[in-house]
Amino acid sequence: MQIPYTVTTRPDTGLHNAKLGIWLFLASEVMLFGSLFSAYILLRVAAVEWPHGSQLLNVPLAFINTVILIASSVTMVLSWASLKMKDFAKYRRYMGLTILCGFGFLIIKAFEYGAKFSHGIFPAEDLFYATYFTLTGLHGLHVIGGIIVNAYFWGPGSRLWNTEPERFTNRVEVAGLYWHFVDLVWIFLFPTLYLL
Amino acid sequence: MQHVAAATPAAAGAHHEEHAGFWRTYVFSLDHKVIGIQYMMTALLFLFLGFTLMMLMRWQIAYPTRGIPGEWFALLPAVIGLAAVAVGAYSKRRLTLLVGLLFGGIAWLVWWMVSDETLFPEGIMLPELYNSFGAMHGTIMIFLGVVPLAVGGFGNYVVPLQVGAPDMAFPKLNMMSYWSYFAGGVVMLTSFFVPGGAANSGWTSYPPLADIATTGQTVWLFGMVFLITSSLLGSVNFIVTIVQLRAKGLTFMRLPFFVWAQFVTSFLLLLAFPPLEGAAILQLMDRLAGTSFFLPSGLVISGQVLDVAGGGSPLLWQHLFWFLAHPEVYVLILPAMGIVAEIIANNTRKPLWGYRSLVYASIFLGFMSFIVWAHHMFMTGMGTVISTFFQTTTMIISIPSVIILSALIISLWGGSIRYTVPMLFAIAFLPMFGIGGLTGLPLGLAPTDIHLHDTYYVIGHFHYVVAPGTIFALFAGIYYWYPKVTGRMMSEALGKVHFWGSLICMNGIFFPMLIQGLAGVSRRLYDGGTQYAHAQNVLQWNEVMSISAWALALFQIPFILNFFWSMKKGKQVESDNPWGATTLEWQTPTPPPHGNFTSIPEVYRGPYEYSAPDAAKDYTPQNVP
Amino acid sequence: MEHASQDEIRRHVRTYILVFVALLGLTVVTVAVSYLHLSIVPAVIVALFIASVKGGLVASYFMHLISEKKLVYVTLVLTVVFFIALISLPLLGYHDTID
């Protein structure tokens, strides 16, 4: 029993199943992060005072992190393009870079968190730090999830390339969509938390 | 070897994977039909548990100063459990045995709780325990009972069949959805056993109370994360299945209305649940990390100022919670409307009236449901602009509801009505949902809501919609699709007893609530209002309602007996399509094998070609050229 | 995207690199603007505008939204509408109270 349109696209919708599936999932993620942004806006507007992000957070470090994440988005889409051009070795290089960038992001984040904790600053400190830790923490969890998925497709999952290259390419594309979304969220998080 | 007869859900997945073994076939199956049945059985059990909690509460409300006769409340599940265990052991049926043990478990739980002097000093329920039961009754019924049955159970089993697909688009994701739901259920149940008991701040979990409540609230929040995950995975699966896996010739406007209802429902679940997940994360941060997302500055608890940063907003929780919880009520009703529509078309032997209106009204309803939520918050100090906005959208949303109800009622006109048991439930749904909907109008208008908010009127309103509304539709669906799943009919006689008893008792429970609410009796009072002067004139209704509730429980016995007995002893169907239905799920073997259709289906007609003028029979299935 | 030829993919790769450079540039701009210490309203507008352009580039080119199918657009438009409702209506509620 085969489920249709797992690899080929359905003619009238032009999509294969996983592509539609991931976009639907991303829509739900927009609502998830959206609700937290909404919470942030409401709390900040109602607050008597709210510090400027740059006063309390490390902007240069976050700038580097932003560059890392954007770069990882490029390497991710290039890894998919490599598969489309049937270059498996190149795919592995770019996917490997994407994973490394992901780790890089997390390491810097861990350093940022550590710096705060060592000064005795925890989420309970005030609403600014509560929103900072919660928003970046949830984002960080999503980065970890993405790294795990990408690592699977770099490693054991890549065996599918040998038997069903088109299906594997689709999977990498779908994983890429998720990874770009994680980058997209950070593109909004960075100015909101650090620059305003 | 799989030697099971067609009567059990096992056969659904068994034919293809003969070597698959017990666990792969029944427990970790990827077949949507097995998963649907897993959802259904789990949900029915939770419905019974949620109902049991309420029956205990109803003693407290009716007789607040009298000790509870715990034995009697444990008796019903004990008897059912014992019977099932005996039958299961004697005839070596594992499912029956398991169900028996679970009912026995419920009986034991009730007995243990009621015998505990710290929870029931001198047999009288502690107010804190009453609050727990109330919060968990709501949570269990909505998130562990009705939605998993309506969407996870019926949706999973029927939708792939009705669109002509071999399975859901993502079978592994489907299985994960079920186990995520199961995990959430287990977590919710364990919350009863943590120090301080289960969540006790209402199913609505409003802070600041929920922020400082006992440990059970934290467990509730984690349980919700599992349940929301299950829901999200499921909704993605449904939407992709309906869009991508429709059979050739099955255009959107040829879909059975049940599929449209599930389609809109899935969008509601997909986009409305995440904000509640966000809110749950924030509340967990407040409870576990000491943040103040929902705690205002200077909050005083038991005479002491709370030592937190402050600056938070309890209203923030309400906005995020109701952003989900309002679409959630349409999640509760839409699948039910879908089921009723299918059964009405089939039992009037004519097409539904206003199919297009039904479809467009459902889509419009789904869209509007996202922008009405603050009608649950009229009493939070809203100004006139925002209040007017939400009153307006709420009045507008009643229009598609009325269109749908009207179309279903008009569909009866001129029909050759067969008063089968599913049809009895489906017909009763109509006026009951009508009462539920109409009683919602004064709640949706702020001036009247001032008087009725947080009273028993609200409880009466929403129970009319969910109990003799949705649950009747779900009963109808069980009686209707039972022959397809098992190859046997349920007993009509027992079904009629179940129907009439449930109809009368449900009205006995929920109508007086409207009266009490109009008199001003608040909800969530553990003594049913005895302490309030304005409640004195309507207190006598408490006993009426409680007796109706216990009678309702007794009237479920014929249903439970019927359900299990008919699996092996029910009248066998003479064809794969005993109701003479047009939709695709009836054009399969009984029960459908792994992969559903013996040949790839192609659709040539709309979903309700009953009594077509030139046709040979009074129905023409969709896949007949 | 499905049956794109090798040449098309190579052209896409060129686009990806261009978008990458644009994103880097815009990131520098947004940080630089923050040093201007604008008052809160213009600061928010500028920051959100730049972020939207960056986000739009990622979505359109890396996520191939620019050539995506109608169904995906419909889902996303719906999502954006509800997202706006979720952000704006509670804010309205904050500003519009009975006292």
**CA distances for B19 relative to A2, B38, B346, angstroms:** 19, 21, 38
| 3-class secondary-structure state, position A167 | helix
Among chain C residues, CA nearest to A22: C72
pTM, two decimals, is 0.95
Q: Shortest CB distance from B281 goes to which of A2, A46, A138? A: A138
Determine the Cα–Cα distance for residues A76 and A183; give it in Å rounded to an integer: 11
Which residues does chain C have within 8 Å of residue A76's beta carbon, measured at their own beta carbons? 62
Structural domains of chain B, ranges and CATH numbers in brackets:
10-66+124-297+306-587 (1.20.210.10)
Q: Is A144 in contact with A182 (CB distance < 8 Å)?
A: no
CA B296 from chain centre, in angstroms, equals 35
* C-alpha to C-alpha distance for B60 and A71, rounded to whole angstroms: 63
User: Distance between the two ends of chain A, CA-based, in angstroms?
Assistant: 55
User: How far apart are the CA of C75 and the nearest CA of chain B, in angstroms?
Assistant: 9
Categorize the per-residue pLDDT at B98 as very low, low, confident or very high, splitting at 50, 70 and 90: confident
Reading the block at residue B422, the tokens are 């599913």
- Which residues of chain B neighbour A3 with C-beta distances below 8 Å? 165-167, 169, 171, 245
Of residues B240, B309, B312, nearest to A20 (C-beta): B240
CA distance B387 to chain C (A): 9
Chains A and B: how many Cβ contacts under 8 Å?
129
Which C positions 30-89 lie with beta carbon below 8 A of chain B? 71, 78-79, 82, 85-86, 89
The partner residue sitting opposite C47, judged by closest CB among A19, A74, A191, is A191
Q: In chain A, what are the domains?
A: 17-46+57-195 (1.20.120.80)
Question: What does the alpha-carbon distance between residue C87 and residue C98 come to, in Å, rounded to a whole number?
Answer: 21
pLDDT digits (tens, 9 = 90+) for B542-554: 999 999 999 999 9
pLDDT at residue B19, rounded to an integer: 63
Please give the Cα distance from B248 to B622 (Å, whole number).
11
In C, residues 52-71, which contact A (CB 8 Å cutoff)? Answer: 54-55, 58-59, 62-63, 68-69, 71
Q: Are C66 and C76 in contact (CB under 8 A)?
A: no
Residue A160 φ/ψ, nearest 5 degrees: -60, -25
Crossing angle of helices B314-348 and B421-444, rounded to 10°:
150
What is the pLDDT of chain B when averaged over all its residues?
93
Taking alpha carbons only, the member of B574, B590, B573, B576 closest to residue B621 is B576
Q: Is C96 on the interface with B (CB under 8 A)?
A: yes
**Model confidence at B16: pLDDT above 70:** no
E strand or H helix at B305: strand B304-305
pLDDT score recorded for residue C3: 54
B453 within 8 A of B381, measured Cβ to Cβ: no
- Are A187 and C54 inside 8 Å of each other by CB? yes
**Of A57-61, B16-20, B590-594, the least confident:** B16-20
Using pLDDT thresholds of 50, 70 and 90, give the confidence band for residue B263: very high
Between C71, C90, C99, which is nearest B319 by CB?
Answer: C90
Q: Residue C22: its pLDDT value, please?
A: 96
* Tokens 């969008």 -> residue: B267
Tokens of A153: 């497709």
- Contact (CB, 8 A) for C11 and C4: no
Q: Return the beta strands (E) in B466-603 as ranges.
A: 488-489, 571-572
CB C13 within 8 A of CB A94: no
CA distance B528 to C43: 55
For residues B256-281, average pLDDT? 97
- Residue B27: pLDDT band with limits 50, 70, 90: confident
Q: What is the pLDDT of residues A51-81, one digit of tens each?
A: 999 999 999 999 999 999 999 999 999 999 9
Bridge partner residues of B386 (DSSP): none
CB pairs under 8 A between B and C: 43
Is there a contact between B608 and B581 (Cβ–Cβ < 8 Å)?
Answer: no
Shortest CA gap C17–chain A (Å): 7
Which candidate from C82, C90, C95 shows the least CB-CB separation from B370? Answer: C82
Q: Is B156 helix (H, G, I), strand (E, B) or coil?
A: helix
Partner-chain residue, chosen from B267, B370, B382, that has the shortest CB–CB distance to C93:
B382
Contacts of A184 in chain C (CB under 8 A): 55, 58-59
> What does the pLDDT read at residue B7?
39
Task: Please state, in angstroms and rounded to a whole number, the distance separating the CA atoms of residues A12 and B112.
Answer: 59
What residues in A contact C90, CB-CB < 8 Å? 38, 42
Query: DSSP secondary-structure letter at B612?
Result: -
For residue B91, how many other CB atoms are within 10 A of its CB? 10
Helix (H, G, I), strand (E, B) or coil at B300: strand
Question: What pLDDT score was predicted for residue B95?
Answer: 78
Beta strands in B24-154 (DSSP E): none
Chain C residues touching A42 at Cβ < 8 A: 90-91, 94
Q: B217 Cβ partners below 8 Å, 6+ apart?
A: B199, B200, B201, B205, B210, B287
Confidence of residue B70 (pLDDT cuts 50, 70, 90): confident
pLDDT over 90, % of chain B: 84
Which residues on A lie below 8 Å from C40 (Cβ)?
Answer: 196
- Give the pLDDT band (50/70/90) at residue B115: confident
Question: CB-CB: which of C71, C78, C99 is closest to B243?
Answer: C71
Q: What is the mean pLDDT of residues B338-366?
A: 97
Instruction: Name the band, by pLDDT with cuts 50, 70 and 90, for residue C4.
Output: low
Q: Tell me what the mean pLDDT of segment C72-90 comes to.
A: 95
Bin B575: left if φ > 0, else alpha if -120 < ψ < 50, else beta: beta
- Mean pLDDT is lowest, of A132-146, B91-105, B321-335, for B91-105
Q: Which chains touch B (3 or more CB pairs under 8 A)?
A: A, C
Provide the mean pLDDT of chain A. 96
> Searching chain A, which residue's CA lies closest to the CA of residue B274?
A32
Which residue out of A180, A181, A182, A185 would a mutagenesis test of the C interface target, given it has the greatest number of C Cβ atoms within 10 Å? A180
Query: What is the rounded distance in angstroms from the CA atom of residue B327 to the CA atom of residue A55?
Result: 41
Residue A58 contacts C where some CB pair is shorter than 8 Å:
no
Tell whether C27 lies on the interface with B, counting CB pairs under 8 A.
no
Separation between Cα atoms, residue B603 and residue B248, nearest integer Å:
6
How distant is the Cα of B112 from the closest Cα of chain A, in angstroms? 40
Token pair for B494: 């027992």
| Chain-chain contact of B282 with A34 (C-beta, under 8 angstroms) | no
**C-beta atoms of C71 and A34 within 8 A:** no
pLDDT of residue A147 exceeding 90:
yes
Q: Which amino acid is at B5?
A: A
pLDDT band per the 50, 70, 90 thresholds, residue B18: low
Collapsing DSSP states into helix, strand and coil, what is residue B522?
strand
* Distance from the Cα of residue C33 to its chain's centroid: 18
Q: At what angle do helices C70-95 and B257-284 cross, to 10 degrees?
A: 50
Rg (chain C; Cα; Å): 19
* Interface contact flag, A196 C43, Cβ < 8 Å: yes
Q: Which two tokens stand for residue B469?
A: 């509304």
3-state helix, strand, coil in chain C (%, to 5): 80, 0, 15
Q: What is the mean pLDDT of residues B241-266?
A: 97
- To the nearest 10°, the Cα dihedral for B596, B597, B602, B603? -50
How many Cα atoms sit within 13 Å of B573 on the Cβ side?
Answer: 24
pLDDT digits (tens, 9 = 90+) for A102-129: 999 999 999 999 999 999 999 999 999 9
Q: Do residues A67 and C27 touch, judged by C-beta distance below 8 A?
A: yes
Degrees (nearest 5) of the Cα angle B346, B348, B349?
Answer: 65
Note the Cα B539 to chain centre separation in Å: 30
B217 and B201 Cβ atoms separated by less than 8 Å: yes
* Tens of pLDDT, residues B299-339: 999 999 999 999 999 999 999 999 999 999 999 999 999 99
Beta strands in B507-625 (DSSP E): 571-572
Contact at 8 Å (CB) between B487 and B568?
Answer: no
The pLDDT of residue B597 is: 92
Q: How far is CA B100 from CA A25, A67, A97, B482, in A?
A: 39, 60, 56, 20
Count CB neighbours of B410 within 10 A.
13
Q: Give the chain A residue nearest C81 (alpha carbons).
A: A31
Q: In this model, does residue B9 exceed pLDDT 80?
A: no
Backbone angles phi, psi at B200, to 5 degrees: -135, 25
Mutate to test the interface with A, among C21, C26, C31 (most CBs of A within 10 A): C31
Name the nearest CA neighbour of B240 among B157, B167, B331, B328. Answer: B167
d(C-alpha B156, C-alpha B154), whole Å: 6
Dist CA A43 CA C91 (whole Å): 10
Residues 6+ apart with CB under 8 A from B599: none
Distance CA(B481)–CA(B484), nearest Å, equals: 5
**How far apart, in Å, are the Cα atoms of A38 and each of A33, A44, B275, C88, C91?**
9, 10, 9, 8, 9
**Residue B257: C-alpha distances to residues B155, B586, C46 (Å):** 12, 15, 47
Are A48 and B311 inside 8 Å of each other by CB? yes
Q: What are the DSSP calls for B28-51, one per residue?
A: S---HHHHHHHHHHHHHHHHHHHH
- Residue B451: count of CB within 10 angstroms of its CB: 12
Reference B422, options B354, B522, B489, B352; nearest CA is B489
How many Å lie between the alpha carbon of A62 and the closest alpha carbon of chain B? 24
Run of H or E including B240: helix B216-244
3-class SS shares of chain B: helix, strand, coil, % to 5? 70, 5, 30
Query: Which residue bears the tokens 């109608």?
Result: C70
Neighboring chain C residues of B169 at a CB cutoff of 8 Å = none
Are the beta carbons of B309 and B292 closer than 8 angstroms?
A: yes
Say what the pLDDT of residue B108 is. Answer: 87
Which residues numbered 20-79 in A keep a CB inside 8 Å of some CB on B?
20-21, 24-25, 27-29, 31-36, 38-39, 42-43, 46-48
Nearest to B271 among C82, C94, C98 (CB): C82
Q: Read off the pLDDT of each residue in B391-407 and give the average, rounded to a whole number.
A: 98
Residue B382 has its nearest CB partner, among C78, C82, C96, at C96
User: Counting one residue from A and one from C, how many pairs have CB atoms under 8 Å apart?
Assistant: 118
* Residue A26 to chain C, least CA–CA distance (Å): 9
Q: What pLDDT, in 10s, does the model give residues B490-521?
A: 999 999 999 999 999 999 999 999 999 999 99
**C39 burial level (CB within 10 Å; 0-12, 13-18, 19+):** exposed
Task: State the DSSP H helix or E strand holding residue B491, giving kind and residue range, or none if neither.
Answer: none
Other CB atoms within a 10 A radius of the CB of residue B557 amount to: 17
- Which residue is listed with tokens 């409207």? B514
CB contact under 8 A, B383 and C97: yes
Contact list, B267 vs chain C (CB under 8 Å)? 78
Partners of B367 on chain C (C-beta within 8 Å) are: 78
- pLDDT score of B249 more than 60: yes
